[in-house]
Amino acid sequence: KIGGKGLFVKEIEDALLRKEVDLAVHSIKDVPAELPDGLILPVYPEREDPRDAFISCSYTSLGDLPAEAKIGTGSLRRSSQILNMRPDIQILPLRGNVDTRLNRLETGEMDAVILAAAGLNRLGLSGKITELIPADTLLPAIGQGALGLEIRKDDNKTLEILSFLNHRPTELAVRAERALLKRLEGGCQVPIAGFAVLEGASIILKGMVAELDGSLMIKDEIRGPEDRPEELGTALAERLLIKGADRILEGVYGNKTG
C-alpha cells in the first residue's frame, strides 16, 4: 500500500547505482520485469522449492477443506486460482511476516493459510507445511523460490567473483518466466502466474492470467529450445493475450497491452 512490492527493490537498486553497495540479493518474484538502466541480473543460485504450501491445523490438504472454508492469503494469484477451483471458499486477506501469518491461523480465525514453500524452508519452518500443492494445481508466481543477484552492468570484477553461484537451469527458467511477465506488463494488481522447468535441452513454460474472482482463467504452455528463454516467454504471453488475457488485463489496467 505504500508503494507496491517494487518499493524496497527500488531503494536497493538506487544504492547500487550510487555505488553505495556492489551487490543486491533479491527474491526474484519481487523484482519488476524492467530493470533500471545500468543494472543487470546475471546470477541465479539454484532455486528453492517453487511450490505453494498449504498449512492447516485441522485439514490435511486443499482438497480436504469443507464448503465455505476460510483461507488466508495476500496473493491475488493464489486466491484467483483457488476460487476458480472452489468458488465457495472464503478468501481472507493475510499480511505481515511469516510468524504473524501463522499466528492468525493458530488463533482459529482461518481454516488454512497458503504461503510460499521456499520462504518456510529458508526460515526452518518446513515442519509447519501440511501439504505441498502441485504446481499444476496452483501455478507459482513468476520467479517463486528463486533468488537473483543484481549488479552494475559494468562491474566485471563482482560478476567474476559471483559467477560460480549461477545455476544454469534456474537461470533459463527464470529468464523465460520474466519474459512472460514483461510482455504481459504484469503488476501486483492482476493474477499472473508463470513457471518454467528445464527438461533435457528444452524449456517447458506454463502461464496463467485470471480474473480477480477466478471466474475466468486463461492458461497455456509452450516448449522450446533452452537457448531461447526470452523468445519462449514472449511467445507464450502472446498466446495468452490472444486467448483472452488481453481483456482481463485491460479491465484491470484500463489500457491495452497489445
- Using alpha carbons, select from 175, 202, 89 the residue that is nearest to residue 138: 89
Listing DSSP states for the chain in one string gives --S-TTHHHHHHHHHHHTTS-S-EEEEGGGS-SSPPTTEEEEE-PPP---SEEEE-SS-SSGGGPPTT-EEEES-HHHHHHHHHH-TTPEEEE--S-HHHHHHHHHTTS-SEEEEEHHHHHHTT-GGG-SEEEPTTTSPPPTTTT-EEEEEETT-HHHHHHHGGG--HHHHHHHHHHHHHHHHHT--TTS-EEEEEEEETTEEEEEEEEE-TTSS-EEEEEEEEETT-HHHHHHHHHHHHIIIIIHHHHHHHHSS---
Is the Cβ–Cβ distance between 200 and 70 less than 8 Å?
no
Enter the C-alpha cell of residue 207: 502461464
| Residue 69: strand pairing partners | none
Nine-digit cell string for 165: 553461484
Residue 207's DSSP bridge partners are 194, 220
30 is an active site residue: yes
Instruction: List residues bridging with 71 in a β-sheet.
Output: 91, 112
Instruction: List the catalytic residue out of 30, 37, 88, 227.
Output: 30
Active site residues: 30
